[in-house]
Amino acid sequence: MLRNRAQILAGWLPLVVWAVAVHAQTPAARDEPPFSVTHYDVQLEPRLESRTMTGAVTLSVVVHRDDLETIALNRGRLEIDGVQENGRARAFVVDGNLVRITLPRERPDEKRRAGPVHRPETRTLTVTYHGAPSSGLVFNEEREQIYTVFSTSQWMPALDEPSARATLRLRLTMPRAWTAAASGREVSRRELPANTVVMEWEQQRPVPTYTFGFAAGAFTEATDRAAGTALRYLGRDFTESEMRRVFGESAQMIRFFEQRSGVPFPGDTYAQALVARTVGQEMAGLSIVSEDYGRAVIADPSAIGLIAHELAHQWWGNMVTCHAWTEFWLNEGFATYMAAAYREQRFGRDTYLNEIASMKARFEQVRARGNDRPLVFPNWDRPTADDRTIVYQKGAYVLHELRELLGDTTFWAGIRRHTTEHFGRSVTTEDFRAAMEQASGTDLGAFFDRWVYK
């Protein structure tokens, strides 16, 4: 059975890590922001022994308002060393988990006007930084591994909002004997002195910045293929045969999610890594699960729910993304439900119904404690374990109820409409409702009022 990542997060992952990705500049509506970042070019050198890192990120910043004087980026706990634009230093201040950068006008004699610019202006800023992250970047010296978890701004300055989509170029310096996987397509591996190597990846399809990431370490590797998708399995102290036993159903899962979504897998490579410890983490073209979980799947091949959950995020979460963290159920409720749906077609209806019953029981326990909440949260600044149960288990259970109401054919037609129409975009619950109403020809206002908003 899928172990609830949200439940584990309450105890294992410090709450501040989750909150960092949540509270900063969450938009209330889909109005055009004053600025956006369309591309990040990152050079990163993490050091395992000292648990420190240095980095530089060059950002393509598109300015949408003529009167914009500063931009704010999330920085986690990173120390900002400097900011430059066209070789000129730019003033900045550190404000909590933000770094605020002054943007002087390119022509100082021009006056700023209120309102949007006639033509959006792109400016290129380079931020140099260093740090010793206590979260967001995991250093495990015993297992010789470094890998990312929530949130991206703990290892590179970035915009954390889920609606902030961008492309990525990542160059990672690491020991020459290591193997790594990261968001995007691997484009080069260049050997350096001192027994090190620089690996480079390019993520050419815009994705939310929280899906940027990598896993690097003393891994062995196995490969497979699913139609047009190359599959990579990474682990330490696992044989190639054992890694295929852990991840061997990935090709079938991809085919299932492609059929249910109506959209091919969004990339040509998907990597999965077994790391020292994690509750499970999805990234663009990559996911990580723990070594203990991998051993559990070897012992019980039906325990593949977490693998399916993280893979489902490549569609629902990474590509069709909640517009704001207040509608996080559109990511996690969907991935939780899709994992159950995969197990249904793989192991039968009874397995699915047992999983749904477990979700309902979890949700009922929260309601009995008086902690039930709408799926669309008024805020998501400090989510509790019960709040996460609402987003994951209640969210998935609501999708089950909607399927029961509409019937299989109409429900899955609505899921395909929702996914294909919004692929590569951020969405709200109302977008989802509209897709399901168009597919069913039914007014679902009463259903959404009961299950989602109240």
Please count the other Cβ atoms lying within 10 Å of the Cβ belonging to residue 172.
Answer: 21
**DSSP letter assigned to residue 371:** -
Ranges of CATH 1.10.390.10 domains, the chain = 321-453
Is 397 a residue whose pLDDT tops 60?
Answer: yes
Tens-digit pLDDT profile for residues 283-307:
999 999 999 999 999 999 999 999 9
Average pLDDT across the chain, whole number: 91
pLDDT band at 378 (very low <50, low <70, confident <90, very high): confident
Alpha helices in 129-268 (DSSP H): 240-247, 250-261
Q: At residue 221, does pLDDT exceed 60?
A: yes
pLDDT band at 120 (very low <50, low <70, confident <90, very high): confident
For the stretch 311-348, pLDDT in tens is 999 999 999 999 999 999 999 999 999 999 999 999 99
- Residue 66: pLDDT band (50, 70, 90) is confident
Q: What is the pLDDT of residues 175-217, one digit of tens each?
A: 999 999 999 999 999 999 889 999 999 999 999 999 999 999 9
What percent of the chain lies above the pLDDT cut of 90?
84
Q: At what angle do helices 429-440 and 408-422 cross, to 10 degrees?
A: 130
Q: State the pLDDT at residue 29.
A: 43
> What integer is the mean pLDDT of 112-120?
66
Can you tell me the distance from the alpha carbon of 403 to that of 334, in angstroms, rounded to the nearest whole number? 13
pLDDT of 381 reads 76
Amino acid 27: pLDDT: 35
Tell me what pLDDT residue 30 has.
Answer: 57
Residues of the chain with CATH 2.60.40.1730: 33-217
pLDDT band for position 32 (cuts 50, 70, 90): confident
Single out the residue of 12, 271, 290 nearest to residue 145, CA to CA: 290
Q: Each residue of 403-422: b (16+ CB within 10 Å) or e? A: beebeeebbbbbbbbbbeeb
pLDDT band at 18 (very low <50, low <70, confident <90, very high): very low
- Give 377's contacts (C-beta < 8 A, 6+ positions apart): 325, 326, 327, 328, 387, 391
Whether the Cβ atoms of residue 154 and residue 136 lie closer than 8 Å to each other:
yes
3-state secondary structure (DSSP) of residue 278: coil
Confidence of residue 111 (pLDDT cuts 50, 70, 90): low
Instruction: Identify the pLDDT of residue 15.
Output: 29
Q: How confident is the model at residue 220 (pLDDT cuts 50, 70, 90)?
A: very high
Q: Spell out the CATH class of 33-217.
A: mainly beta
237-268 residue pLDDT tens: 999 999 999 999 999 999 999 999 999 999 99
Percent of the chain with pLDDT over 70: 90
Residue 322, pLDDT score: 97
Could you tell me which residue, 247 or 30, shows the higher pLDDT? 247
Amino acid at 377: F
* CATH class, 321-453 region: mainly alpha
Q: 110 falls in which pLDDT band (50, 70, 90)?
A: low
Calculate the CA 300 to chain-centre distance. Answer: 27
Is 21 a residue whose pLDDT tops 60?
A: no
**What does the pLDDT read at residue 26?**
35
User: According to the model, what pLDDT value does residue 383 have?
Assistant: 84
SS (H, E, C) 28-95: CCCCCCCEEEEEEEEEEEEECCCCEEEEEEEEEEEEEECCCCEEEEECCCCEEEEEEECCEECCEEEE
Indicate the pTM of the whole model.
0.90
